[in-house]
Amino acid sequence: MGEDSEFFFSLIVNGISIGMLYALIALGFVLVYKATEALNFAQGEFVMLSGYIAAALLTAKGMPVIGAIIGTIAIMVGFSFALERVVLRPLLGRPIVAVIMATIGLAAILRGLPPLTFGAETRAVPLPIGDDPLVIGPATVPPIQAIGFVVTLIFLGGFTWFFRKSRTGVALRAVAENQQVAAAMGINVERYFALAWAMAGVASAVSGIVWGNMLGVDVQLALVGLKVFPVVILGGLDSIAGAVVGGLTVGVVESLTAGYVDPYVGGGTKDFAPYLLMIVALMFRPYGLFGKRKIERV
Amino acid sequence: MFHRETGVFKTSYASDMALYPLPIARGTVIALLVLFVVIVPLVFGEYYLSIINLVLISIVGALGLNILVGYTGQISIGHAAFMSVGAYTAANLAVRAGLPFWITLPAGGLMAAIVGAVVGIPSLRIKGLYLAIATLAGQLIIEWIINHVPWISGGTQASIQVPRPSLFGFEMKTQGELYFFLLFFALIAIVAALNLVRSRIGRAFVAIRDQDIAAEIIGIDIFRYKLIAFAISSFYAGVCGVLYTYYFGIANYEQFQLGVSIEYLAMIIIGGLGSVLGSILGAAFVALLPLVIRTVMESVGGFFFAANEMATVVSSMRLVIFGALIIVFLVLEPEGLNRLWRNIRNYFRVWPFSY
């Protein structure tokens, strides 16, 4: 391979490996939207919060790694559960602006709390994995990204199976389709809402551990939440496979613009190139690439 | 205000829609004008006037956002970017062309209106949360452009110093002088908004908010009115940005980041969506909140936090309290301060009887 194509290849590989991690965050977002039609603007803050929890548990004395990971997941599930009960349930049936603003308010709270409780310094999330990067041709992938890749694939497979085959998953889809009819069929809608948030809590906890290990945990970690929007819009807000496709697209686009455009314009394109792509996509497919088209009645 | 409606009969549609619903309202308005034009600048010193000035600027921005979000139902998370468009337009015109404020201010507003209408174009096809994210994209892209194009942002710091506003050779330097400058524009903004929402355009906005397909069926050109809403709202935002620029004497993109967009959304939610009075109350509330927090933290915060951490503590506290207030108002009082005020008024209107 020539030098140019090697550069291109490594950009693509980096884009794919980081894109899978975006997809992991987006999963938490899509799970909630799919079942409850609530748009969670605090997804990035969820990731940050679970990063803090993981950092605290992993550095605690005498705590085995697996225990810390399970602990983080358990705390995040409990947190999402409580959140649904206290904040989002009263907003059921209210205009979409209300839910968006509630999660924005939540994001503000979560962003303000860590400096008050944990202090301002960046914390590490130590995981017992090596530093040797994976070598794929001319490209190298840090081990944590490889792990993230595998975890995302497992989640993708698991959730797809869950929604297609399991009884609970089918019930969740029924709730998403039409709450009233689902309730008439004997499905406890509120319990399934709580379940959807709990699953999102699991996804957030795992993304918090992976991203926290990669970047270190501080308030800046919440900014990865901003990447989620182009991912989920490109993929369609209610499609799990779409989240992965969107994540990969955004990862690759980011990596390519950072490699080819940044040197000419002084950096920072990778933060808004996905958004540009998203707007173009929205003009042609207003419900995302894989999203369901809604039929409205007057 | 507190008045009784006994004996007032409206015999025409015009009188029903009048700006002053009751004869006594004229008196209330005059009393308020006297309060703000004569008494406030006499009573308050420089420091408090500088805070009131910030409230006045916020009122302009909150009114604009409420026209879009509260009246038309189109959410925008990119309003701070529209403000920055106005601010940099005015700053460039003022510095490079040496133009006075009565040209730069409408120019900044117009430029923001054009940019706002462009960002609003997707609203034809997308709505709700997709639109929210599209405006978020607008915010990030505009922020990036201003930060990376030196021709707009004036070099490395991405900030432009502007001269003080002057009228007929009289330069407004002190807070007291700026107060009248800002009060003038805030009043125009309030009266314009009041008139807008009771006009044909305003009613079309409300129809689109309540059910856009139904609105289209009864003959409202949705696309046109949505774009008008974006343009008017961004015009307000642009003027708000210009006022910030003249107030601080500098245009800086850091004053107009995503957090500010959210702050303005908080204002109209706390104040009350779809209400002019609500925008004013919300703007005052949110603009005064940091001051209250700082005062409280400076007096009792010393017991909990070290003095050198105070700056971070205050700004974090502010975020937390903001977020909590947004959620509390959304859950408990969705119509905001405006509703609370109406409840108080209705109670006293028939006082001492229960109805």
pLDDT tens by residue, B146-174? 887 777 777 656 677 777 776 776 777 77
**Residue A109 lies inside a defined structural domain of this protein:** yes
Average pLDDT, chain A: 83
Residue A41 near residue B135 (C-beta atoms within 8 A): no
**A59: containing domain:** 3-124+144-284
Mean pLDDT to the nearest integer, B111-118: 92
pLDDT at B238: 93
Same domain? For B26 and B170 the reply is no
Q: What percent of chain A has pLDDT over 70?
A: 95
Residues 107-166 in A contacting B (C-alpha not used; CB under 8 Å): 107-116, 120
Q: What percent of chain B has pLDDT over 70?
A: 92
Mean pLDDT to the nearest integer, B125-129: 73
pLDDT at B236: 94
User: φ and ψ at B7, to 5 degrees?
Assistant: 80, 5
How far, in Å, CA of B55 to CA of A106, rounded? Answer: 25
How far, in Å, CA of A115 to CA of A216, rounded? Answer: 15
Same domain? For B84 and B16 the reply is no
pLDDT at A128: 76
**Residue A133 lies inside a defined structural domain of this protein:** no
Q: Give the ipTM of the model, two decimals please.
A: 0.80
pLDDT in tens, A16-68: 888 888 888 888 888 888 887 778 888 889 999 999 988 888 887 777 888 88
* Closest by Cβ to B69, choosing from A97, A268, A271: A97
Q: Nearest to residue B334, comparing CAs of B324, B322, B326?
A: B326
Q: Is A91 near chain B, with CB under 8 Å?
A: yes
pLDDT at B306: 64
Which chain A residue shows the shortest CA-CA distance from B209? A95
Same domain? For B27 and B81 the reply is no
- Residues of chain A contacting B78 with CB distance shorter than 8 Å: none
Same domain? For B32 and B92 the reply is no
Same domain? For B195 and B70 the reply is yes
* Closest by Cβ to A272, choosing from B128, B140, B330: B140
**Residue A298 lies inside a defined structural domain of this protein:** no
CATH code, A228: 1.10.3470
pLDDT at B111: 92
pLDDT at B157: 67
Q: What are B265's two structure tokens?
A: 């959304």
Residue whose structure tokens are 């003249």: B246
A127 pLDDT exceeds 90? no
pLDDT at B270: 87
pLDDT at B280: 92
**Residue A137 lies inside a defined structural domain of this protein:** no
Our CA dihedral for A65, A67, A72, A77, rounded to 10 degrees, sits at 150
More confident residue, B337 or B352: B337
Q: Within a 10 A sphere around the Cβ of B19, how many other Cβ atoms? A: 11
Identify the band that residue A73 occupies on the pLDDT scale cut at 50, 70 and 90: very high
Same domain? For B187 and B202 the reply is yes
Same domain? For B38 and B67 the reply is no
Same domain? For B11 and B156 the reply is no
Mean pLDDT to the nearest integer, B119-139: 81
Same domain? For B207 and B274 the reply is yes
How far, in Å, CA of A124 to CA of A126, rounded? Answer: 6
Same domain? For B4 and B129 the reply is no
**Which helix or strand (DSSP H or E) is residue A220 part of?**
none
Residue A250 near residue A230 (C-beta atoms within 8 A): yes
Distant-in-sequence, close-in-space partners of A47: CB < 8 Å, separation ≥ 6: A25, A28, A204, A207, A208, A211, A221, A222, A224, A225
Average pLDDT, chain B: 83
Among A226-235, B118-127, B282-291, the minimum mean pLDDT is found in B118-127
Residue whose structure tokens are 């998953």: A169
CATH code, B339: 1.10.3470
pLDDT at B241: 92
**Residue A139 lies inside a defined structural domain of this protein:** no
**B148: containing domain:** 44-349
Same domain? For B29 and B65 the reply is no
**Residue A292 lies inside a defined structural domain of this protein:** no
Q: What percent of chain A has pLDDT over 90?
A: 4
Our CA dihedral for A201, A203, A206, A208, rounded to 10 degrees, sits at -70
- For chain A, the domain total comes to 1
Contact B122 A230 (CB under 8 A): no
Among A91, A229, A254, which would you mutate to test the B interface (most chain B Cβ atoms within 10 Å of its Cβ)? A229
A191 pLDDT exceeds 80? yes
Identify the band that residue B233 occupies on the pLDDT scale cut at 50, 70 and 90: very high
- For chain B, the domain total comes to 2
Distances (CA, A) of B267 to A76, A110, B231: 30, 19, 20
In angstroms, the separation between the Cα of residue A229 and the nearest Cα of chain B is: 7
pLDDT at A94: 76
Mean pLDDT to the nearest integer, B220-229: 90
pLDDT at A13: 86
How far, in Å, CA of B93 to CA of B340, rounded? Answer: 43
**Residue B355 lies inside a defined structural domain of this protein:** no
**Residue A129 lies inside a defined structural domain of this protein:** no
**Residue B354 lies inside a defined structural domain of this protein:** no
Q: Within a 10 A sphere around the Cβ of B140, how many other Cβ atoms? A: 22
List the Cα angle A39/A45/A49 in 5-degree steps. 130
pLDDT in tens, B168-206: 767 777 777 788 888 999 999 999 999 998 889 999 999
**Residue A296 lies inside a defined structural domain of this protein:** no
**Residue B225 lies inside a defined structural domain of this protein:** yes
For residue B171, give the DSSP letter: E
The most distant pair of C-alpha atoms in chain B lies apart, rounded to whole Å, by 66
B6 pLDDT exceeds 70? no
Mean pLDDT to the nearest integer, B318-332: 86
Among A226-240, A276-290, B99-113, B188-202, the minimum mean pLDDT is found in A276-290
**Residue B268 lies inside a defined structural domain of this protein:** yes
For residue A178, give the DSSP letter: -
Residues 28-47 in A contacting B (C-alpha not used; CB under 8 Å): 39
Same domain? For B84 and B110 the reply is yes
